[in-house]
């Protein structure tokens, strides 16, 4: 978003027009809407800015729920913003640690700062991009205990602050920055702050684990089975005795698997009646062994993140499948077996085998009214296909 668009959006005309629009629908005739608004006397800049916000608010509901309808966004800001239910978890750490004033360095559109302010902590939100800082100020306006400053994290005045939260920018436009030294602020800068303040750092879940300091609690977070972040927590924000955790958020609420270190592998054994697919946060946290032991399970293969067991155990940390049949991983055999069962719609999952599920599905040419799920993997050293049903 350009500054001129933001100025038009924040004008009395722009805000009134935005609030008057019905909820954005992907099926709406945008050309007709634009024509109607232009005919009503609104400028092209106002119309473009308002319709863009209407579209972003609709997308933002997956992260912010009904709060999205009173917020403003940028494309990049929404993409990188913390989901509100995850931001609430972050804020809870600062609150439980007894901190009073938190600096949110690189606040983006203000999602984490919003959650901190809602718990009545003083918040100084720092954002170097002028437009994004203005939008954060709008989103945080309902909280008198939050203020936004338009400057870089490195130049922020931290006098009086007793806690730090950082979400380093890991992109330069559309380009993903792989070197942590190129992030804004850099990872070294963030780690240095963590030696002086209770600090939380939000990172991508796929970061090189060798970069994680030994004194940090590393928490991988998934929402509805999608791993969304790695949080590193230092000082009193890190829990005693916990260095690895998987926080799983979904329709069940929140659940967490924790450990003092990476868990030891579970034993490898034969295929049972059930197969478990661990949540991605559990896999990233390397707590598969602990999960397997809690459900009385074992590994199919020491290098593949599937667990098998003889009983179905309800767990938020894995999806459970009942194994209906086991076959060699051979497309002719599978084509015949699927045909005999009338399976025409097939979901294919795979781990530990070099197979393109989309291309493999084409070779099966499934036909019929039934549906099914195939899991392609290795049982021991054998390549196998498991016909399963989700529990």
pLDDT cut 70: percent of the chain above it: 100
The two three-digit tokens of residue 383, written as one number: 């390549």
**304 closest CA partner among 275, 328, 329:** 275
Task: Note the pLDDT of residue 2.
Answer: 85
Is the pLDDT confidence value at 166 over 80?
A: yes
Q: Are 93 and 216 in contact (CB under 8 A)?
A: no
pLDDT bucket at 380, cuts 50 / 70 / 90: confident
Whole-angstrom distance, CA of residue 229 vs CA of residue 385: 32
- Whether a cis peptide bond, with omega within 30° of 0, leads into 6 is no
Other Cβ atoms less than 10 A from the Cβ of 121: the count is: 21
**217 closest CA partner among 361, 90, 323:** 90
Is the pLDDT confidence value at 94 over 80?
A: yes
Those residues whose C-beta lies under 8 Å from the C-beta of residue 105, and which sit 6 or more positions away, are 126, 153, 156, 164, 165, 166, 167, 185
Is the pLDDT confidence value at 381 over 90?
A: no
Other Cβ atoms less than 10 A from the Cβ of 258: the count is: 17
Enclosing H/E stretch for 12: helix 12-20
Is the pLDDT confidence value at 320 over 80?
A: yes
What are all long-range contacts of 121-127, with beta carbons under 8 Å and residues at least 24 apart? 121/91, 121/94, 121/95, 121/145, 122/146, 123/147, 124/149, 124/156, 124/161, 125/149, 126/151, 126/152, 126/153, 126/156
**312 closest CA partner among 323, 303, 327, 300:** 323
pLDDT cut 90: percent of the chain above it: 88
Q: Mean pLDDT for the chain?
A: 94
Residue with tokens 């899991």: 375
Task: Note the pLDDT of residue 146.
Answer: 98
Provide the 3-class DSSP secondary structure of residue 368.
coil
Q: Are 198 and 277 in contact (CB under 8 A)?
A: no
Q: Are 328 and 384 in contact (CB under 8 A)?
A: yes
Lowest pLDDT segment from 137-141, 225-229, 329-333:
329-333
Is the pLDDT confidence value at 311 over 80?
A: yes
Mind listing the pLDDT tens digit for each residue in 223-249?
999 999 999 999 999 999 999 999 999
Task: Note the pLDDT of residue 222.
Answer: 98
State the sign of the Cα–Cα–Cα–Cα dihedral 115, 79, 351, 261.
negative
Phi, psi of 372 (to 5 degrees): -165, 175
pTM here is: 0.92
- Segment of 18-27, 166-175, 358-367 carrying the highest mean pLDDT: 358-367
């Amino acid at each position: 978003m350009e500054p001129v668009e933001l100025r038009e959006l924040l004008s009395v005309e722009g805000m009134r027009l935005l609030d008057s629009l019905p909820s954005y629908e992907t099926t709406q005739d945008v050309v007709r809407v634009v024509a109607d608004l232009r005919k009503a006397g609104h400028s092209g800049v106002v119309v473009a800015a308002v319709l863009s916000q209407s579209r972003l608010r609709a997308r933002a509901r997956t992260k912010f729920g009904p709060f999205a309808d009173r917020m403003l966004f940028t494309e990049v800001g929404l993409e990188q913003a913390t989901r509100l239910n995850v931001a609430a978890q972050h804020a809870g750490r600062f609150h439980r640690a007894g901190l009073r004033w938190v600096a949110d360095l690189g606040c983006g559109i203000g999602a984490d700062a919003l959650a901190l302010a809602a718990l009545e902590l003083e918040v100084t939100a720092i954002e170097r991009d002028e437009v994004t800082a203005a939008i954060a100020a709008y989103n945080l306006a309902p909280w008198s205990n939050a203020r936004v400053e338009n400057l870089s994290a490195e130049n922020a005045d931290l006098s009086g602050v007793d806690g730090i939260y950082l979400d380093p920018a890991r992109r330069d436009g559309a380009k993903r920055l792989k070197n942590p030294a190129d992030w804004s602020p850099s990872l070294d800068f963030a780690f240095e702050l963590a030696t002086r303040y209770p600090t939380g750092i939000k990172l991508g879940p796929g970061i090189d684990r060798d970069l994680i300091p030994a004194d940090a609690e590393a928490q991988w977070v998934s929402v509805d089975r999608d791993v969304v972040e790695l949080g590193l927590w230092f000082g009193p924000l890190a829990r005693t005795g916990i260095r690895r955790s998987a926080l799983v958020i979904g329709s069940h609420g929140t659940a967490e698997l924790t450990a003092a270190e990476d868990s030891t592998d579970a034993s490898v054994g034969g295929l049972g009646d059930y197969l478990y697919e661990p949540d991605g946060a559990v896999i990233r946290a390397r707590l598969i062994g602990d999960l397997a032991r809690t459900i009385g399970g074992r590994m199919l293969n020491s290098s593949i993140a599937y667990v098998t067991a003889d009983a179905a155990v309800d767990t938020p940390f894995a999806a459970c499948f009942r194994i209906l049949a086991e076959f060699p991983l051979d497309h002719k055999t599978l084509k015949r077996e699927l045909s005999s069962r009338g399976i025409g719609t097939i979901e294919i999952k795979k781990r530990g085998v070099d197979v393109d599920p989309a291309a493999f599905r084409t070779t099966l040419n499934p036909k019929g009214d039934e549906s099914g799920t195939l899991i392609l993997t290795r049982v021991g050293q054998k390549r196998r296909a498991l016909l399963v049903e989700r529990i």
